[in-house]
Structure 1
């Protein structure tokens, strides 16, 4: 695939044009990623000191419900969001995946997986943090990750 970017100060707004030989799955995936990135929300969160921050969705690698709090994990730290997990799930980009009743992860941050004999998958993120899937979600995880 050839990628070309033309910059022009005469343009009044940005425009993205994709030219391809025929309709294919790779182009569909690329369009989904671009749309997800462009339309993603940011979240007003607080840290453990109650300082308020705005976190973009693409910076989040995990939403975990722990100790009656919805915690957001990013490479910059852990934050708390005053929202229910199922409400957050409604607005997530397509590369987010629910792996248990209490956790949704960003598949873009997965470094590797460890498949255990008991049907539980250990998920290792790019920052070496890890989490475990639930067996109840195993089928949907395998489908989403094409295992």
Structure 2
């Protein structure tokens, strides 16, 4: 991909994870993180057709954390990750579709407890490599979020 085909994004952007039933998710763009991560709860591993799968709960609406969706997804791998607090944990990795602006592509996503973090999803370097320039001075360059009442966030 050439430099001309890259888009500018800000420190926060709205994205969709349609295969997981999540739309208009505020994502923290983090060039310091290699991998992307998503907050999930209640991970349970199981076998399906002789493959390793997991079931987990997602909160698709940050304004209503009581609402959850139960998802199932094939496990791509497990990976040891050093978190921002320098603790190491073993996380499940899945591959799923991400929609950001007019682009759609598959990304690797680690699943973890981000309940202490401000944003449910962090998009790391591997997911944005070759696609975007990041200017941390701006938020929501591609899409403006709306409030639960339907108004645009300033």
Please state which band the TM-score falls in when normalised by the shorter chain.
under 0.3
Question: Of Structure 1 and Structure 2, which has the larger fraction of its residues in helix?
Answer: 1
Bigger proportion of residues as strand: 2
Larger radius of gyration: 1
Q: TM-score, normalised by structure 1?
A: 0.22
